[in-house]
């Protein structure tokens, strides 16, 4: 993910030091939020892969129920 911030000044003058520090703080918070979101998605995908692997292992144990979990997942999507 990539974020862009644009700032403009209505009066056409330079930004104050306080304005710049505030914008930097907001940008830092946005950066951390985007990184947390990326890490959460990665963790969620890894969790689903583990669950699918366990379901496959269980399904291979019995020829009668083999593939059942994949079919259930397919119908639930």
Torsion of CA 25, 27, 31, 32, to 10 degrees: 20
pLDDT value of position 55:
82
Give 7-16 pLDDT, tens digit per residue: 887 787 888 9
pTM for the whole structure: 0.65
pLDDT given for residue 57 in this prediction: 85
How far, CA to CA in Å, does 65 sit from each of 28, 49, 70, 73? 51, 20, 10, 14
pLDDT of 45 reads 96
Structure tokens at 59: 């399904």
Residue 7: CB partners within 8 Å, gap ≥ 6? 15, 19, 23
Q: What is the pLDDT of residues 17-76, one digit of tens each?
A: 999 999 999 999 999 999 999 999 999 999 999 988 888 888 788 777 777 777 877 888
Q: Quick one: pLDDT at residue 1?
A: 54
Calpha distance 40→28 (Å, rounded): 18
């Amino acid at each position: 993910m990539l974020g862009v911030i644009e700032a403009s000044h209505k009066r056409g003058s330079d930004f104050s030091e306080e304005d710049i520090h505030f914008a930097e703080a907001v940008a830092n918070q946005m950066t951390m939020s985007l990184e947390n979101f990326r890490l959460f998605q990665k963790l969620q995908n890894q969790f689903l892969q583990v669950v699918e692997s366990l379901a496959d292992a269980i399904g291979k144990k019995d020829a009668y129920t083999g593939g059942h979990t994949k079919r259930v997942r397919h119908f639930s999507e």
